Amino acid sequence: MTKFSAADLNNKLENLGIKNGDTIMIHGDAIILNFISGESYLDKIKLFRDALIKKIGKNGTLLVPTFNYNFLKKKKFDPLKDKSQIGFFSETFRLIEKKNRSCHPVFSFLIIGKNKKKLINTGINDCFGKNSIFKKFHDLNGKILTFGCGFNRITFAIHVEEMFGVNYRYHKYFKGIIKKKKKYLKINKLSYYVRNLNLNNDLNLFKLKRLLIKQKKIKIIKFGRVSAEMVKAKDFFLTGIKKLKKNPNYLIEIGAKNIDVNRNLKQKL
């Protein structure tokens, strides 16, 4: 099996259109670690991280999701200790970058680079709305990158749904406590735009993906036996909004479950 070196990773990122100064949000699956050189998973993640940081340069910013849903039940969140619940890739990344984790009690990110201070404490009371980190990422002309996990894992889609105001989601509010350094911050009203489970629908971004491919707004390359994909947040947002105006159910499949066929990973969206 081919193992990618730092130079190979640089070429892959080049082919995806990643450039110096870019703001990147990456969704990854642990399967990609099988194709990266290194003695351990930590070594492989570090090599991958270093290649990304080198490619975007000192003016770039990297965001890695480290979501944790326990806050919704336990009402507590410690960004230094609570694990990521969205897979081995994300959790391994957290182990080496946990000091760079944002304080959002559910949708936290590891943030490295120029815009860290601008993003790190954004929207602690807002998950996907106009005050959220997803809106800031959009405003920064961010690029969404998937490695091995498939297009349906792009959480930015919920920001699109909230900005449009789809009728199959509604605002649900939570409260609790965040540990920030040695202090505790009380959250009185966390706004989460949740799916109405009674409507029996699931996120389905494959129609959007096919359209973006047709419009040549997605770059796709092979990464070992899987794919890596890159789309600009603005292209994703504008195309999604345009289609929702014509069909308010464009981003879902009614009556379908577990649509993420790439890894059959159930994500709480």
pLDDT of residue 256: 55
Domain count, the chain: 1
264 belongs to a structural domain? no
Quote the CA–CA distance of 153 and 146 in Å, as a whole number. 8
Spell out the residues 6+ positions from residue 167 whose beta carbon is closer than 8 angstroms to its own: 248
268 belongs to a structural domain? no
56 belongs to a structural domain? yes
Q: How far is CA 37 from the centre of its chain?
A: 24
237 belongs to a structural domain? yes
Quote the CA–CA distance of 259 and 35 in Å, as a whole number. 26
Q: pLDDT tens digits for 157-186?
A: 999 999 999 999 999 999 999 998 788 999
DSSP 83: P
Amino acid identity of 86?
I
Quote the CA–CA distance of 25 and 136 in Å, as a whole number. 12
33 belongs to a structural domain? yes
Q: pLDDT tens digits for 6-53?
A: 999 999 999 999 999 999 999 999 999 999 999 999 999 999 999 999
Quote the CA–CA distance of 107 and 171 in Å, as a whole number. 15
Q: Taken in order 50, 120, 90, 151, is the CA torsion positive or negative?
A: negative
pLDDT of residue 258: 46
Quote the CA–CA distance of 4 and 25 in Å, as a whole number. 21
Q: Is the pLDDT of residue 255 over 80?
A: no
261 belongs to a structural domain? no
Prediction pTM value: 0.92
The SS3 assignment for 142 reads coil
Backbone angles phi, psi at 187, to 5 degrees: -105, 115
The SS3 assignment for 26 reads strand
44 belongs to a structural domain? yes
Q: Round the CA-based radius of gyration of the chain to a whole number and report it.
A: 18
Domain with 86, as residue range(s), is 6-254
108 belongs to a structural domain? yes
Q: pLDDT tens digits for 175-215?
A: 999 998 788 999 999 999 999 988 888 999 999 999 999 99
Other beta carbons within 10 Å of 86: 22
